[in-house]
Each structure stands twice: as C-alpha cells, then as structure tokens.
C-alpha cells in the first residue's frame, strides 16, 4: 500500500455529524483531513476533549453519504507499518477491525476511562493475536450470562495450602463423590417409590383396621352399657286364691312387680331374654293341703325343661337354676306332672323371679 503524506496537524476523530445534509463526497484515493477546511457545505470543528489522531496515522473517508449514514466507515492507517484499521457502522452495529500485517500481526485494542497517563491503566484490553480480553475492575451483569464459560481461578492460599492444587489433586475424589451422590439419589428415589407403593397398598388395610376399631369401639360402648345395666324381674299373682293345674299348664304368674330395664321384657306369663348372658331363675309355689297327689313343677326355656322340683300336699317349695341364654329366649314355669292339682296363687307364697349374673 502506498504511504500517505503525513498530516501537518493533529486531527480529531471525525464525527459525521459535522457534515450538513447537502454534503456528498466520493474519493478513489485518500483525503487528507488537514486540508479539509470549513466552507459553505462543510463544517470542521475541533473542540472539548475530542481524541487526537497523531501525525503517525492517516484518516480517510470512504463512500460517505449523509443520507445513508448507517452504512459509513472510516479508515485509520498506521503509516509506519502500513496497517489499516477500519471503524464501521452498519445500521445499529458498530465494528472495529484491521487487516493482518505479517510484520505486526492482528491489532490490539485498549479502552481507557481517561487520557492515557492520567489514569492507572485501561479498564479493558483486547489482544488480537491470543485472542484474550483483560478487564480491570468488576464485571457486572443485569441479565443472564449465557454460553460455555471456563473459569480459571488465580492462585489461592489458605495458610500454606494451595487451594487450586488441592482441587486439581482431588478432582477424581470429587468426581467419585458426585457419582456416589447420583447413585444415592437414585436409591433414595427408588426407596421413596417403594414406600409410596407400600402406603398405597396398606391404605386399604389401614382403612379396614380403622373401620374394625370403630366397630369394636361401638361394641365396647354397647357392652359397657350392657355391663352397667341391671337385668332382673319379679312376677306373682294378684288372685290370692287356689287354682287347679294339670300336666303341661303354664303357671299364671301374670302380675309383674319388677322388670328392668324394660317392663316389656316380661310378657304374659313369660320372661323374654333381652341380652345374652347367664341368668339365675327361681320359682316359689304353695301346694294346698287338700291335694293327696304329687306335683312336679319345672322351669322351661323355649318349651324345653331345664329344672324340676317335686311337691306334696300343704307344702311350699322352690326351684332354682342357672341358664345360659341368648336374646329372645322364652323362660316360664309349667306343671310337669299332675292332674287337677290345687295351688295357691298370691304374694308372697307364689313367685317367679330371675336376674342376669
């Protein structure tokens, strides 16, 4: 590339805003900005802290058209090395790049917060040949940092222990621990699944047990009530006179003086068992003196004789027995053997009574 003549003065980086809308310039060669003067359609301004292009560089405009400023780029050439760098804007993208020169290699870039020499150093450096980016200060992000990022930690000492070395040395152990954690997680997941299955399976059994306990509780309550309740009766006759009985007749103990807990448990001449259990039954009867024959009396359950007693004339006798009963059993007193036997029916000579023990 041909060398450009050195500018006669340091120039600012040129801002396309210095051109008005009527400016149009096309060059096939290089334009020396030092010769660019202000005129009717051109404004040349140097002010404030505009950065200065040194005399060792050369700037030229390429295809600058103010009506299409989004597609503008500038060339910056290092005359000593014939290395051209280009600042380009295409729509909303600003690019900086340079041609590769074998003698110097790819370009490097430095970004400063102030004029070089007035601050400690550049806040960021980009090295084209490595390539590497060095940042001085904190890196902060308000969004998500994406992509694969490899972190290389600096040397860190805790006491005399190099943390980086220890991490490298024990990386296999760490990998093994990670594998064990993964396997343990799988085992825990499997066990939790088995527990869930067992809970589901046993849920029906638990519900059945709860139902059973509920029923048992009801039974216990019922049985407790039954235990605390007294079951007893006493029946006699209000005739207060003799009656004649023969074999098979039910003795008419038709007057109930006591029946708990329900008076309805004694009906007619019979006691109807209200609850399962063992009962003691007794009968007292007086046989008149006019009889000369023997009388046999019996206590019956559901028509079957359970206990029997023999009486003679002018005698009061009693029958006593224990009977294992269920709900609904019918208990009464009958003449087992005898024909036209005279007995006295009246309290206290004749009674039929019983109770649950």
Q: Kindly report, residue by residue over 180-192, the tens digit of the pLDDT.
A: 888 888 888 888 8
pLDDT of residue 326: 97
Asked if residue 123 lies in contact with residue 137, where contact means CB atoms within 8 angstroms, the answer is yes
User: Which of these CATH numbers, 3.30.70.20, 3.40.50.2000, 3.30.460.80, 2.60.120.40, describes 232-356?
Assistant: 2.60.120.40
Neighbours of 10 (CB within 10 A): 13
Q: Which segments of the chain have a pLDDT < 50?
A: 1-71
**Which pTM does this prediction carry?**
0.40
Rounded-to-integer distance, Cα 274 and Cα 190, Å: 58
Sequence-distant (≥ 6) Cβ neighbours of residue 196 within 8 angstroms: none
pLDDT digits (tens, 9 = 90+) for 5-42: 444 444 344 444 443 333 334 443 444 444 444 443 33
pLDDT of residue 324: 97
The two tokens of residue 100 are 């590769």
Asked if residue 3 lies in contact with residue 56, where contact means CB atoms within 8 angstroms, the answer is no
What stretch(es) of the chain map to CATH 2.60.120.40?
232-356
Neighbours of 325 (CB within 10 A): 22
pLDDT of residue 22: 35
pLDDT digits (tens, 9 = 90+) for 270-293: 999 999 999 999 999 998 866 667
pLDDT of residue 96: 73
Neighbours of 232 (CB within 10 A): 16
């Amino acid at each position: 590339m041909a060398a450009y003549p050195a500018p006669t003065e340091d120039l600012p980086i040129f801002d396309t805003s210095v051109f008005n809308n009527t400016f149009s310039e096309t060059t096939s060669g290089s334009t020396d900005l030092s010769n660019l003067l202000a005129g009717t359609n051109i404004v040349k301004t140097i002010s404030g802290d505009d950065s200065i292009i040194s005399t060792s560089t050369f700037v030229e405009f390429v295809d600058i058209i103010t009506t299409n400023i989004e597609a503008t780029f500038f060339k910056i050439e290092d005359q000593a090395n014939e290395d051209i760098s280009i600042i380009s804007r295409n729509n909303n993208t600003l690019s900086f790049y340079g041609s590769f020169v074998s003698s110097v290699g790819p370009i490097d870039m430095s970004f400063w917060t102030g004029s070089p020499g007035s601050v400690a150093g550049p806040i960021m450096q980009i090295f084209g040949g490595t390539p590497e980016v060095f940042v001085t200060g904190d890196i902060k992000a308000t969004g998500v940092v994406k992509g694969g990022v490899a972190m290389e930690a600096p040397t860190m000492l805790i006491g005399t222990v190099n943390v980086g070395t220890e991490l490298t040395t024990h990386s296999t152990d760490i990998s093994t621990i990670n594998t064990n954690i993964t396997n343990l997680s799988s085992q825990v997941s499997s066990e939790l699944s088995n527990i869930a299955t067992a809970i589901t399976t046993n849920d029906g059994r638990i519900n059945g047990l709860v139902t059973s306990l509920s029923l048992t509780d009801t039974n216990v309550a019922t049985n407790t009530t039954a235990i605390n309740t007294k079951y007893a009766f006493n029946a006699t006759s209000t005739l207060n006179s003799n009656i004649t009985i023969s074999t098979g007749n039910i003795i008419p103990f038709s007057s109930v003086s006591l029946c708990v807990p329900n008076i309805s448990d004694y009906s007619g001449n019979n006691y109807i068992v209200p609850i399962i259990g063992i009962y003691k039954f007794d009968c007292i009867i007086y046989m008149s003196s006019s009889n000369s024959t023997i009388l046999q009396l019996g206590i019956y359950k559901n028509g079957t004789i359970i206990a029997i007693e023999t009486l003679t004339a002018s005698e009061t006798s009693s029958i006593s027995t224990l009977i294992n009963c269920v709900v609904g059993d019918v208990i009464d007193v009958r003449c087992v053997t005898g024909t036209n036997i005279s007995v006295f029916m009246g309290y206290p000579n004749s009674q039929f009574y019983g109770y649950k023990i």
